[in-house]
Chain A
């Protein structure tokens, strides 16, 4: 890992609304991420992770503070220069994959290459190599609708890398994937940082990604905090009985002064419809809510 700072945030703040209704989604965040580092931003739902990532990627203007990507102050660039920086310097990976539905795999991957000056012949060669490396050589002419979730995410990764950016920003890259494909994607991101020296910053709820991270940042109420000593605080979903990390759980509800955590929206809705049987189930010794 290099000592070069690839991504830097100074006093980054984003406030929505004004006066009494003002809400600070991100509050005075200072952050340095080194070249080749794989860093995670974790934290509970609504803690401001995605807002922070949007500002770091030049997709959202902060209320105050500065962002530097490889020495360039993103926050000082005007709207006409930001798109070029995004195309050239940053690779984006999204939870929902965000492939362009009318373009096939090849065309999706090459799309950002057409936005920067450069030799398209080289870009095509690079596209071929990336797709082979990611196991998509036989899927080049497939439309996104004909790909599995894991394949879509690998196409998105190839697209993020086509312009050879030094910084990759990923938002819940394993969020829509099953365990096996999630692990595959996790290892690809790991290789991108380790083998290619790219900086990878991931916003995630997925504790599996901690295994490959160099650093874990904890965001709560818009502020970066020290990570709690315990890695996780496991509780049981009263509906399905699955283990859920209380700190990062997205779905929770309060009933008679107690908080319950759920693995999914589906379990939360079932609980809210009729909580008593599930609470009794917990009281019968399956697990106790905190």
Chain B
């Protein structure tokens, strides 16, 4: 029966191609959307990831940077400096505010960093200085090119004009951009002198982040202390949670489209071949063998469609990187596994209607001309 199943599939190449194409397109769209979402989520945590801090200290009750506000007294820096195993502490002031370049407004993480700070500044400079002085800003190179700005041009943050002193890489995504200004400018812009949003702590060489975090917790009360790894995971979880429903809906749509495409092509193929199924029954094939054959056909189409979708998705990625660099595409292994399971689910559901049809074919149909 397996031979018959495969030969039947190959005999109708156009039908197979349509079916494969439909399933592959549905699964590709699901994977693409998840890839964009995952890439954007990862881009959202690029700042804490690249901050070079071993431990983040923030206001008690806060555990995120994304969609969160933290306010700490700046003097806390001294207390943490005194904690054993701490090598340096860099305060930052952070706000999620728009940056205006001409008529365009860019949602942005604006981060105030102290001059000469070891942690929290831009990590990959394309041009200019990484440490913005008063009245200066370091912006994303992509934002600059999209706005037609160069070094020395001006932009506006919270009504104040700042001069572009540097262009950084890796600080732009579909969701936001990261802009660096001086600490004193940020204090003034937000009107919060003597405060910090987060304290970024670097431990002495050889000290693990967990040990360092525990030391700080023991010495300083009333704050939340997280290792960079914990902080990034918490932020990532928050950003994923925000788009999860959209992704679920799109995945469901892709799943339904896949079921319909395979189901309809299998059903029409079954109807077209119902006489042959009757012949097979007359010759001694059991119902369950025919049902298994239909299921096998669906699984083949679904898995080939899955393979095609993954191949196209990976071929698509360099094109996206080249032509739309602000759209980060990441395909996590979990998404691929989920997609594989979806494909099997699609195959199962798509087999039900053809299976019902086959179960009703009478072997006596062989005597009809």
- Interface residues, chain A, with chain B CB atoms under 8 Å away: 50, 53-54, 57, 59-60, 79-80, 83-88, 92, 94-96, 98, 100-103, 107, 111-112, 114-116, 159, 171
> How many residues from B make CB contacts under 8 Å with A?
24
| Distance from B308 Cβ to chain A, minimum over Cβ atoms (Å) | 23
Q: A92-B282, A116-B284 are in contact. Are A101 and B276 (CB under 8 A)?
A: yes
Asked if B4 and A59 sit within 8 Å, CB to CB, the answer is no
Interface string of B260-287 (1 = CB under 8 A from A): 0000000000000001100111111111
Contact A54 B284 (CB under 8 A): no
Residue from B4, B284, B367 within 8 A of A100 (CB atoms): B4
* B7 CB, min distance to chain A CBs, angstroms: 4
Q: Which residues of A contact B287 (CB under 8 A)?
A: 79
Q: How far is the CB of A117 from chain B (nearest CB, A)?
A: 12
Q: Do the beta carbons of A103 and B279 come within 8 Å of each other? A: no
> Is B285 within 8 A of A102, CB to CB?
no
Q: Which of A87, A92, A111 contacts B4 (CB 8 A)?
A: A111
Please tell me if the beta carbons of A112 and B10 are within 8 angstroms of each other in the complex: no
Listed by A's residue number, 24 A-B pairs whose Cβ atoms lie within 8 Å are A54-B367, A59-B282, A59-B363, A59-B364, A83-B284, A83-B285, A84-B284, A85-B284, A86-B282, A86-B283, A86-B363, A87-B285, A92-B282, A92-B283, A98-B279, A100-B276, A102-B7, A102-B11, A103-B7, A111-B280, A111-B283, A115-B283, A116-B284, A159-B283
Q: Chain B residues with Cβ under 8 A from A116's Cβ?
A: 284
Which residue of B is nearest A55, CB measured? B364
**Inter-chain contact total with CB atoms closer than 8 Å:** 71
A102 to B5: give the CA distance in the assembly, Å: 9
Determine the distance from Cα of A100 to Cα of B285 in the docked complex, in whole angstroms.
13
Does B245 sit at the interface, judged by CB under 8 A?
no
- Minimum CB–CB distance for A48 against chain B, Å: 12
Chain A residue numbers with a CB within 8 Å of B286 are 80, 83
CB pair A50 B7 closer than 8 Å: no
For the complex, give the distance between the alpha carbons of A105 and B233 in Å: 63
Chain B binding surface, main DSSP class: helix
A103–B3 CB distance below 8 A: yes
A159 proximity list for chain B (CB < 8 A): 283
Contact of A112 among B11, B276, B283, B367 (CB under 8 A): B283
Complex CA–CA separation, A87 to B285 (angstroms): 8
By beta carbon, the residue of chain A nearest B281 is A83
Whole-angstrom CA separation of A115 from B280 in the bound complex:
10
B94 to chain A, nearest CB (A): 66
Residues of A contacting B8 in the complex (Cβ-Cβ under 8 angstroms):
102
Q: Which residues of A contact B364 (CB under 8 A)?
A: 54, 59-60
Quick one: closest B residue to A54, CB to CB? Answer: B364
**CB-CB nearest 6 A-B residue pairs:** A87-B284, A102-B7, A102-B11, A115-B284, A86-B284, A59-B364
B1 CB within 8 Å of chain A? yes
* Residues from chain A with Cβ under 8 Å of B362 in the complex: 59-60
Contacts of A96 in B (CB 8 A): 366, 369
Residues of A close to B363: CB separation below 8 A? 59, 86
> A176 — nearest CB in chain B belongs to which residue?
B369
